[in-house]
Amino acid sequence: MQHFSLILILFFSFQTFGQFAPQATAEGTTAISKDSSIIVVWATAYEQYIAGTDVDEQWQDASQALGPAEGTSSNIVSLGRGGQITLSFDTLIVNRPGADFVCFENGFTPNFLELGWVEVSYDGIDYIRFPNYSYTNAPVDAFGSVDPTKIDGYCSKYQQAYGTPFDLDSVGLDSIRYIRLVDIVGDGSALDSHGHPIYDPYPTSGSAGLDIDAVGVIHAGKIDESIYIIQTENINIYPNPADDHIIVETIHELSLHNNTVEIFNLSGQLVKQAMIENSSLSIDTYGWQDGMYIIKIGHFKKLFVVQH
């Protein structure tokens, strides 16, 4: 009985006091300054800016998310409640030891943190969301506080001028070209990776939701256009993302004869080879590493994601 009581005490202490890195200026933080020399490239283009609700027109200039971080409250684009934006770069973002890119928001204090999900993609079609954790155990009012030690994996863990680092190891990818940032409606209706309700300042207005200053690249690589895949309508893959298997279907001219199916990882290594007959094939992906793969049938190519 005493052993069980100790487990309960440890559990509630974990929930109450938090476990993650502290605010940007505290010892043990993972925050990266906007002036850090490890940032080598900044976002150069945007697409799919979808403004959510409660955001004034003056805060809807998506170009404010491009270039170096300003570290101010005003040089930003606001996503609004539930909005999103996709950023792209002149380089690949590649997986190397440590953080690979960093996101900057404009929180004006260490604890006024409007949270957003971070999703990444190689092809701009299939995205993987970074694992995220929220142990804030009660609603936060419009000007309330979020303890950084109780959250992790969000675009906006740190105040303005300090960025949140992300490591591609967390999503099992070798390289990406696109980063999508999505505002979280912080009333508890959204859930983190473990099913906990997510709370942040709510409801705000005028520039509601996530306010993006910039995204910087730490580990950049040359874009190899030879492996940049143009999605083809001649191959259908499902489920995508896949867990333990995929079904490959061919249509149009591919369905007229048998074809060799080759699957490569993004490093170019052959992972699987098989023959497709009668326009359909099931492939076991159990035990494969999480990440993106290229399927090649004849001269047609398509990307798919494995995510266990």
pLDDT of residue 16: 47
CB 213 within 8 A of CB 198: no
Q: What is the pLDDT of residue 265?
A: 83
pLDDT on residue 84: 98
pLDDT reported for residue 11 = 41
CA dihedral 126, 128, 134, 139 (to 10 degrees): -10
Tokens in use for 132?
């995220």
pTM here is: 0.73
Distances (CA, A) of 27 to 31, 154, 161: 10, 20, 17
The 10 Å CB-count burial string (b at 16+, else e) for 41-74 is: bbbeebeebebbebbeeebbebebbbeebbbeee
Residue-range domains of the chain with CATH? 19-221 (2.60.120.260), 225-306 (2.60.40.3080)
Q: For the chain, what is the radius of gyration of the CA atoms?
A: 21
Per-residue pLDDT of the chain (308 residues; tens, 9 = 90+): 444 444 444 444 444 446 999 999 999 999 999 999 999 999 999 988 999 999 999 999 999 999 999 999 999 999 999 999 999 998 899 999 999 999 999 999 999 999 999 999 988 888 999 999 999 999 999 989 999 999 999 999 999 999 999 999 999 888 899 999 999 999 999 999 999 999 999 999 999 999 999 999 999 987 665 554 555 677 889 999 999 999 998 875 554 455 789 998 877 788 999 988 778 889 999 999 888 888 888 767 888 889 88
- The pLDDT value recorded for residue 81 is 96
3-class SS string, the chain: CHHHHHHHHHHHHHHHHCCCCCCCCCCCCCCEECCCCCCCEECCEEEEEECCECECHHHCCHHHHCCCCCCCCCCCEECCECCEEEEEEEEEEECCCCCCEEEEECCCCCCCCCCEEEEEECCCCCCEECCCEECCCCCECCCCCCCHHHEECCCCCCCCCEEEEECHHHHCCCEEEEEEEEECCCEEEEECCCCCEEECECCCCCECCCEEEEEEECCEECCCHHHCCCCCCCEEEECCCECCEEEEEECHHHHHCCEEEEEEECCCCEEEEEEEECCEEEEECCCCCCEEEEEEECCEEEEEEECC
> Length of the chain in residues, anyone?
308
> What is the spatial distance between Cα 263 and Cα 257, in angstroms, rounded to a whole number?
19
- Residue 217's pLDDT is 97
Task: Please give the pLDDT value at position 229.
Answer: 52
Residues 163, 21, 118, 204: is their CA dihedral positive or negative? negative
- How confident is the model at residue 270, as a pLDDT? 87
